[in-house]
């Protein structure tokens, strides 16, 4: 980490200053009693999601169209261009949808039933195409991803694998080729004459590497229960990621849902079982793969790599609230009992082991080179609004559910501090950790 302004200038409020010398204060934390207390962010502010860029597909839910649904005649679908040939049909259906009121129905006649949408992209970006699809019980639909700039295949025509009449979640990860500025997304019916395929909730977004930091102190025993420290983990098929004390023993786990439910939850688990009554720095990184089977997950405790896993991804492209202190699954909240200190979520950067160790020794900086702090909570201030404020400046402020300044704990985390020394022009010239008892 750079020594220059890594922790802000010498007038940062997080430091107790004496001329050019500062000592990081002990910070604040929020105490959770283990039932009916949590903090929520219901809607992410800013471009895209925490974990992905803005939506690139127009009308991926197929709610905007002109024509008569389910009449066997081609409809005009906003944002999409018909690519059907001969007697192939692309139309809107209201009879079988994944969500909302409409879905796309493609039927093969003597030629293809298909549509396409061309979007602008940036070379080198890693993108994911998500959609829900269903077949007729025997065959399903197909898709094709094309480099429109150079008229070349990125992914050749491929079966979705969604044969069942029940919708299946599909995800395709790819990298935009060098020199490619536009990509075509093509959706097809099967090759069987007369067969139809359904598509809904089509989404194309940029994927980001992610890093997470948080201080925590658990109290009491696990008692055969999972405890969720903070997460985006909601009802049904809207589960994304979570930091939890898993396996009914107490290992810290960073878990990701790739399908929005509990059917696929890769992640990384600590070897160490964090002891109750002691502060720890938890950290995790999520590295986007070149395809959907080589994502890398790592978890750290107190700056030490504790576990890693290479497997499927990406995390589900959902809308689950950010929740601190519990999940948002009704009657299955898994309430956390203990104290949670400073939290930071970083997009577009994989923290290295050295950087995470530096956080353990010196505290969490306001910003990072080559990454964006998308949310940052330090639980300071004397009002509820200040307590739950996102200090990254992105406006991702939390709201308290039975949590207020009455839950604020002073002198909590981190349990290590540092002496920082600046020159008069705010250049950070030295750092010395103060090693304290736990």
pLDDT in tens, 147-200: 999 999 999 999 999 999 999 999 999 999 999 999 999 999 999 999 999 999
pLDDT for 219 beyond 50 = yes
Domain identity same for 161 and 299: no
C-beta separation of 23 from 418 below 8 A: yes
More confident residue, 223 or 374: 374
Q: Across residues 202-226, what is the average pLDDT?
A: 88
3-state helix, strand, coil in the chain (%, to 5): 5, 45, 55
pLDDT for 64 beyond 70 = yes
User: Mind listing the pLDDT tens digit for each residue in 80-125?
Assistant: 999 999 999 999 999 999 999 999 999 999 999 999 999 999 999 9
CATH number at residue 170: 2.60.120.260
Average pLDDT, the chain: 87
Q: What is the pLDDT of residue 46?
A: 64
Domain identity same for 233 and 148: no
Q: What is the pLDDT of residue 415?
A: 46
Q: What is the pLDDT of residue 226?
A: 80
DSSP 233: E
Domain identity same for 305 and 176: no
Query: Strands of 21-24's sheet, edge to edge?
Result: 15-18, 21-24, 417-422, 428-434
The rounded distance, in Å, linking the Cα atoms of 366 and 56 is 30
**Global confidence as pTM:** 0.88
pLDDT for 78 beyond 50 = yes
202-216, 286-300, 406-420: segment of lowest average pLDDT: 406-420
CATH number at residue 268: 2.60.120.200
Does any domain span residue 423?
A: no
Percent pLDDT > 70 in the chain is 86
The rounded distance, in Å, linking the Cα atoms of 216 and 220 is 13
Q: What is the pLDDT of residue 20?
A: 46
Does any domain span residue 419?
A: no
30 bridge partner residues: 340, 408
pLDDT for 247 beyond 70 = no
Domain identity same for 190 and 267: no
Find, among 226, 229, 246, the residue nearest to 32 by Cα.
229
Q: What is the pLDDT of residue 429?
A: 52
pLDDT for 438 beyond 50 = no
The rounded distance, in Å, linking the Cα atoms of 311 and 173 is 13
Provide the 3-class DSSP secondary structure of residue 365.
coil
Does any domain span residue 394?
A: yes
- The two beta strands, 210-218 and 280-287, are antiparallel
Does any domain span residue 99?
A: yes
Q: What is the pLDDT of residue 264?
A: 86
The rounded distance, in Å, linking the Cα atoms of 79 and 66 is 12
User: Mind listing the pLDDT tens digit for each residue in 362-404?
Assistant: 888 889 999 999 999 999 888 999 899 999 999 999 999 999 9
Q: Could you say which of 206, 233, 264 is where a domain stops?
A: 206
Domain identity same for 130 and 35: no
Q: Across residues 239-248, what is the average pLDDT?
A: 86
Cis amide linkage into residue 111, ω under 30° from 0: no
The rounded distance, in Å, linking the Cα atoms of 127 and 48 is 13
68-82, 201-215, 332-346: segment of lowest average pLDDT: 332-346
Q: Across residues 234-253, what is the average pLDDT?
A: 87
Confidence of residue 430 (pLDDT cuts 50, 70, 90): low
pLDDT for 215 beyond 70 = yes
Domain identity same for 308 and 329: yes
More confident residue, 404 or 247: 404
Provide the 3-class DSSP secondary structure of residue 387.
helix
Does any domain span residue 112?
A: yes
Distant-in-sequence, close-in-space partners of 402: CB < 8 Å, separation ≥ 6: 36, 37, 38
Computed on alpha carbons and rounded to an integer, the radius of gyration of the chain in Å comes to 24
Say how many domains are in the chain.
2
What are residue 282's phi and psi, to 5 degrees?
-100, 140
pLDDT for 418 beyond 80 = no
Domain identity same for 170 and 110: yes
Beta-carbon neighbour count of residue 340 at 10 Å? 28
Going along 95-167, which residue ranges are E strands? 103-107, 114-120, 126-134, 142-147, 152-159
Q: What is the pLDDT of residue 194?
A: 94
- The two beta strands, 210-218 and 337-347, are antiparallel
Percent pLDDT > 90 in the chain is 71
Domain identity same for 263 and 392: yes
pLDDT for 71 beyond 70 = yes
DSSP 177: P
Beta-carbon neighbour count of residue 424 at 10 Å? 8
Does any domain span residue 299?
A: yes
Confidence of residue 419 (pLDDT cuts 50, 70, 90): low
Q: What is the pLDDT of residue 7?
A: 45
What are residue 259's phi and psi, to 5 degrees?
-115, 5
pLDDT for 285 beyond 70 = yes
C-beta separation of 268 from 311 below 8 A: no
Domain identity same for 267 and 389: yes
Tokens standing for residue 422? 């600046």
Q: What is the pLDDT of residue 19?
A: 41
Domain identity same for 131 and 241: no
Find, among 190, 203, 201, 169, the residue nearest to 61 by Cα.
201
Task: Dump the DSSP string for 303-331.
Answer: TEEEEEEEE--------PPEEESS--STT
Cis amide linkage into residue 347, ω under 30° from 0: no
Does any domain span residue 361?
A: yes
The rounded distance, in Å, linking the Cα atoms of 360 and 214 is 10
Q: What is the pLDDT of residue 224?
A: 63
C-beta separation of 129 from 56 below 8 A: no
Q: What is the pLDDT of residue 82?
A: 96
Beta-carbon neighbour count of residue 64 at 10 Å? 14
Does any domain span residue 402?
A: yes
Residue 99: which domain range? 65-206
Q: Could you say which of 170, 186, 206 is where a domain stops?
A: 206
The rounded distance, in Å, linking the Cα atoms of 338 and 220 is 8
Domain identity same for 344 and 409: yes
Dihedral sign for Cα 7, 13, 14, 19, please: positive
The rounded distance, in Å, linking the Cα atoms of 249 and 161 is 38
More confident residue, 9 or 73: 73
What are residue 136's phi and psi, to 5 degrees?
-105, 15
Domain identity same for 269 and 337: yes
């Amino acid at each position: 980490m750079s020594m220059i302004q890594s922790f802000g200038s010498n007038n940062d409020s997080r430091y107790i200053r004496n001329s050019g010398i500062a000592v990081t204060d002990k910070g604040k934390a929020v105490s959770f009693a283990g039932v009916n207390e949590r903090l929520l962010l219901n809607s992410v502010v800013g471009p895209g999601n925490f974990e992905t860029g803005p939506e690139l597909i127009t009308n991926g839910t197929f709610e905007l169209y002109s024509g008569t649904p389910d009449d066997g005649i081609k409809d005009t679908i906003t944002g999409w261009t018909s690519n059907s040939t001969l007697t192939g049909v692309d139309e809107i259906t209201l009879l079988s949808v994944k969500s909302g009121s409409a879905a796309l129905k493609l039927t093969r006649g003597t030629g293809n039933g298909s549509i396409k949408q061309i979007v602008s992209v940036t070379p080198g970006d890693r993108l994911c195409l998500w959609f829900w699809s269903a077949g007729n019980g025997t065959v399903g639909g197909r898709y094709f991803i094309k480099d429109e700039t150079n008229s070349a295949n990125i992914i050749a025509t491929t079966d979705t694998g969604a044969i069942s009449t029940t919708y299946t979640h599909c995800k395709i990860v790819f990298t935009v080729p060098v020199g490619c500025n536009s990509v075509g997304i093509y959706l097809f019916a099967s090759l069987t004459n007369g067969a139809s395929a359904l598509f809904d909730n089509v989404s194309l977004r940029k994927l980001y590497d992610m890093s997470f930091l948080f201080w925590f102190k658990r109290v009491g025993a696990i008692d055969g229960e999972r405890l969720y420290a903070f997460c985006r983990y909601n009802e049904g098929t809207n589960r994304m990621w979570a930091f939890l004390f898993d396996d009914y023993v107490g290992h810290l786990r960073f878990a990701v849902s790739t399908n929005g439910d509990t059917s696929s939850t890769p992640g990384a688990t600590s070897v160490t079982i964090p002891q109750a009554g002691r502060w720890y720095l938890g950290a995790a990184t999520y590295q986007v793969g070149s395809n959907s089977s080589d994502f890398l997950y790592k978890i750290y405790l107190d700056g030490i790599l504790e576990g890693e896993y290479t497997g499927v991804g990406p995390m589900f492209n959902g809308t689950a609230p950010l929740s601190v202190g519990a999940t948002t699954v009704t009657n299955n909240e898994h309430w956390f009992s203990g104290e949670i200190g400073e939290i930071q979520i970083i997009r577009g950067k994989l923290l290295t082991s050295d950087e995470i160790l530096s956080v353990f020794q010196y505290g969490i900086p306001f910003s990072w080179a080559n990454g964006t702090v998308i949310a940052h909570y330090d639980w300071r201030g004397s009002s509820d609004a200040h307590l739950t404020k996102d200090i990254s400046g992105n406006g991702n402020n939390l709201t308290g559910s039975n949590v207020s300044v009455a839950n604020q704990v002073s002198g909590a985390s981190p349990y290590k501090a540092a002496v920082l020394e600046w020159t008069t022009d705010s250049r950070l010239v030295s750092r010395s950790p103060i090693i304290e008892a736990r």
